[in-house]
A and B are shown apart, each in its own frame.
Chain A
Amino acid sequence: MATLALARALNLGLRRALESDPRVVIMGEDVGKLGGVFRVTDGLQRDFGEDRVMDTPLAESGIVGTAIGMALRGLRPICEIQFDGFVFPAYDQIVNQLAKLHYRSRGTLTVPLVIRIPFGGGIGAVEHHSESPEALFAHIPGLKVVACGNAADAYTMIQQAVACDDPVIFFEPKRRYWERAEVDTDAPLDQAFPLTAARVVREGRDVTLLAYGPSVKLALDAAAAAAEEGREIEVIDVRSLSPLDFHTISSSVSRTGRCVVVHEAPVFLGFGAELAARITESCFYRLEAPVLRVGGFSIPYPPSRLEEHYLPDVDKILDAVDRTFSY
Chain B
Amino acid sequence: MTVDSLHHTVAPADAGPADPALVQLLTPEGQRREHPNFPLLLDDAAIRDLYRDLVLLRRFDTEATALQRQGELGIWAQVLGQEAAQIGSARALRPTDMAFPTYREHGVAWCRGVPPEKILELFRGINFGGWNPLEFRLAPYTIVIGAHTLHAVGYAMALQREPHNDDAVIVYFGDGAASEGDVNEAFVFAASYNAPVVFFLQNNQWAISVPESRQSRIPLYQRAKGFGFPGVRVDGNDVLACLAVTDAALQHVRSGQGPFLIEAFTYRMGAHTTSDDPTRYRLADELEKWKLRDPIERVKAYLSRSGLADAEFFASVDVEAEALADRIRSACVSMPDPDPLAMFDHVYADGSPMLDAERRSYAEYLASFGEA
> With the chains together, A297 CA to B358 CA distance in Å?
7
Minimum distance in angstroms from B349 CB to a CB of chain A: 14
- Chain A residues with CB under 8 Å of B143's CB are 85, 126-129
Q: Is the CB of A297 within 8 A of B344?
A: yes
Q: Is the CB of A55 within 8 A of B214?
A: yes
> With the chains together, A49 CA to B4 CA distance in Å?
11
Contact stretch, chosen from B120-128, B251-259, B319-327: B120-128
Q: Is the CB of B208 within 8 A of A37?
A: yes
Q: Is the CB of A298 within 8 A of B347?
A: yes
| B-contact 0/1 string along A294-308, CB 8 Å cutoff | 000111101111110
> With the chains together, A180 CA to B3 CA distance in Å?
38
> With the chains together, A310 CA to B125 CA distance in Å?
14
A interface residue count range (under 10 / 10 to 19 / 20 to 34 / 35 or more): 35 or more
> With the chains together, A51 CA to B4 CA distance in Å?
9
Given contacts A37-B208, A49-B3, A300-B347, contact A124 B125 (CB under 8 A): yes
Q: Is the CB of B128 within 8 A of A29?
A: no
Minimum distance in angstroms from A313 CB to a CB of chain B: 11
**CB-CB nearest in chain A for B361:** A297
- Chain A residues with CB under 8 Å of B352's CB are 298
Contact stretch, chosen from B20-28, B173-181, B294-302: B173-181
Minimum distance in angstroms from B165 CB to a CB of chain A: 32
Given contacts A33-B280, A37-B208, A304-B74, contact A309 B340 (CB under 8 A): yes
> With the chains together, A121 CA to B181 CA distance in Å?
27
| A-contact 0/1 string along B1-26, CB 8 Å cutoff | 00100110000000000000000000
B interface residue count range (under 10 / 10 to 19 / 20 to 34 / 35 or more): 35 or more
Minimum distance in angstroms from A182 CB to a CB of chain B: 29
> With the chains together, A187 CA to B213 CA distance in Å?
42
Checking B6, B7, B275 against A37 with a beta-carbon cut-off of 8 angstroms, the contacting residue is B275
- Chain B residues with CB under 8 Å of A1's CB are none
**CB-CB nearest in chain A for B175:** A58
> Which of B326-357 touch A at CB < 8 Å?
337-338, 340, 342-344, 347, 352, 354-355
Q: Is the CB of B344 within 8 A of A32?
A: no
Given contacts A29-B207, A126-B123, A299-B343, contact A86 B144 (CB under 8 A): yes
Q: Is the CB of A305 within 8 A of B337?
A: yes
Q: Is the CB of A126 within 8 A of B355?
A: no
Given contacts A62-B181, A305-B124, A310-B343, contact A319 B354 (CB under 8 A): no
> With the chains together, A153 CA to B223 CA distance in Å?
46
> With the chains together, A129 CA to B103 CA distance in Å?
14
**CB-CB nearest in chain B for A39:** B280
**CB-CB nearest in chain B for A92:** B181
Minimum distance in angstroms from B245 CB to a CB of chain A: 25
Does B75 touch A at the CB level, under 8 Å?
A: yes
| B-contact 0/1 string along A123-139, CB 8 Å cutoff | 01111110000000000
- Chain A residues with CB under 8 Å of B281's CB are 33-34
> With the chains together, A205 CA to B343 CA distance in Å?
37
Given contacts A33-B209, A303-B126, contact A51 B3 (CB under 8 A): yes
Minimum distance in angstroms from B112 CB to a CB of chain A: 20
> With the chains together, A87 CA to B342 CA distance in Å?
28
> With the chains together, A34 CA to B276 CA distance in Å?
9
- Chain B residues with CB under 8 Å of A89's CB are 180-182
Does B66 touch A at the CB level, under 8 Å?
A: no
Does B62 touch A at the CB level, under 8 Å?
A: no
Checking A32, A59, A306, A316 against B179 with a beta-carbon cut-off of 8 angstroms, the contacting residue is A59
Does A245 touch B at the CB level, under 8 Å?
A: no
Minimum distance in angstroms from B24 CB to a CB of chain A: 28
> With the chains together, A304 CA to B74 CA distance in Å?
8
Q: Is the CB of A30 within 8 A of B209?
A: yes
With most chain B CB atoms within 10 A of its CB, the pick from A34, A125, A268 is A34
Q: Is the CB of A30 within 8 A of B74?
A: no
> With the chains together, A58 CA to B182 CA distance in Å?
11
> Which of B153-191 touch A at CB < 8 Å?
176-177, 179-182
Q: Is the CB of B355 within 8 A of A299?
A: yes
Checking B6, B125, B215, B344 against A303 with a beta-carbon cut-off of 8 angstroms, the contacting residue is B125
> With the chains together, A61 CA to B354 CA distance in Å?
35
Checking B126, B144, B355, B362 against A309 with a beta-carbon cut-off of 8 angstroms, the contacting residue is B362
> With the chains together, A124 CA to B215 CA distance in Å?
30
> With the chains together, A297 CA to B208 CA distance in Å?
33
Q: Is the CB of A55 within 8 A of B182?
A: no
> Which of A273-327 touch B at CB < 8 Å?
297-300, 302-307, 309-310, 316, 319
Q: Is the CB of B215 within 8 A of A302?
A: no
**CB-CB nearest in chain B for A315:** B369
> With the chains together, A51 CA to B6 CA distance in Å?
8
**CB-CB nearest in chain B for A129:** B143
Given contacts A86-B144, A299-B347, contact A305 B338 (CB under 8 A): yes
Q: Is the CB of B347 within 8 A of A58?
A: no
> With the chains together, A85 CA to B103 CA distance in Å?
15
> With the chains together, A88 CA to B179 CA distance in Å?
15
- Chain A residues with CB under 8 Å of B275's CB are 37
> With the chains together, A114 CA to B365 CA distance in Å?
40
**CB-CB nearest in chain B for A304:** B125
> With the chains together, A127 CA to B77 CA distance in Å?
13
> Which of B111-142 touch A at CB < 8 Å?
122-128
> Which of A67-126 touch B at CB < 8 Å?
85-86, 88-89, 124-126
**CB-CB nearest in chain A for B103:** A126
| A-contact 0/1 string along B193-207, CB 8 Å cutoff | 000000000000001
Minimum distance in angstroms from B129 CB to a CB of chain A: 9
Q: Is the CB of B7 within 8 A of A306?
A: no
Q: Is the CB of B362 within 8 A of A297?
A: yes
- Chain B residues with CB under 8 Å of A128's CB are 143-144
- Chain A residues with CB under 8 Å of B180's CB are 58-59, 89
Does A50 touch B at the CB level, under 8 Å?
A: yes
Does B145 touch A at the CB level, under 8 Å?
A: yes
Give the 10 A-B CB pairs with smallest separation, nearest first. A304-B125, A34-B209, A58-B176, A57-B179, A302-B343, A33-B281, A305-B125, A309-B340, A59-B179, A58-B179
8 contacts between A and B (CB under 8 A): A30-B208, A30-B210, A50-B6, A58-B179, A126-B103, A126-B123, A303-B125, A309-B362
